[in-house]
Amino acid sequence: MNTLCSRGSPAQRRHLQLLLFGLALALSACSTGPKYPPLPSMALDETPDYLIGPGDNVNIFVWGLPELSSSVPVRPDGKITTPLIEDVPATGLTPTELARDMEEVLATYVLDPVVTVIVTGFVGPYNRQVRVVGEAVNPQGVPYREDMTALDLMIQVGGLTEFAAGNKASIVRVVDGKPKQFNVRLDDLIKRGKIEANVYMLPGDILIIPETWF
- For 103-149, the pLDDT digits (tens) are 999 999 989 999 999 998 777 777 788 999 999 999 998 888 878 89
Partners of 80 in beta bridges = 88
What is the pTM for the complete model shown?
0.62
Q: What does R_g of the chain's alpha carbons equal in angstroms?
A: 26
pLDDT over threshold 50, residue 2: no
* Average model confidence (pLDDT) across the chain: 82
From residue 158, give the alpha-carbon distance in Å to each of 58, 73, 136, 197: 29, 29, 7, 18
pLDDT over threshold 50, residue 27: no
| Positions of E strands within 8-114 | 57-62, 70-73, 79-82, 85-89
pLDDT over threshold 80, residue 211: yes
CA-wise closest residue to 76 among 65, 60, 87, 64: 87
Residue 50 DSSP symbol = P
| Cα atoms found within 13 Å of the Cα of residue 206, Cβ hemisphere only | 13
Q: How far apart are CA 58 and CA 50, in angstroms?
A: 13
Q: How far apart are CA 145 and CA 201, in angstroms?
A: 9
User: How many helices and strands in the chain, by DSSP H and E?
Assistant: 5, 10
Average pLDDT over residues 190-211: 91
pLDDT digits (tens, 9 = 90+) for 149-174: 999 999 999 999 999 999 999 999 98
How long is the chain? 214
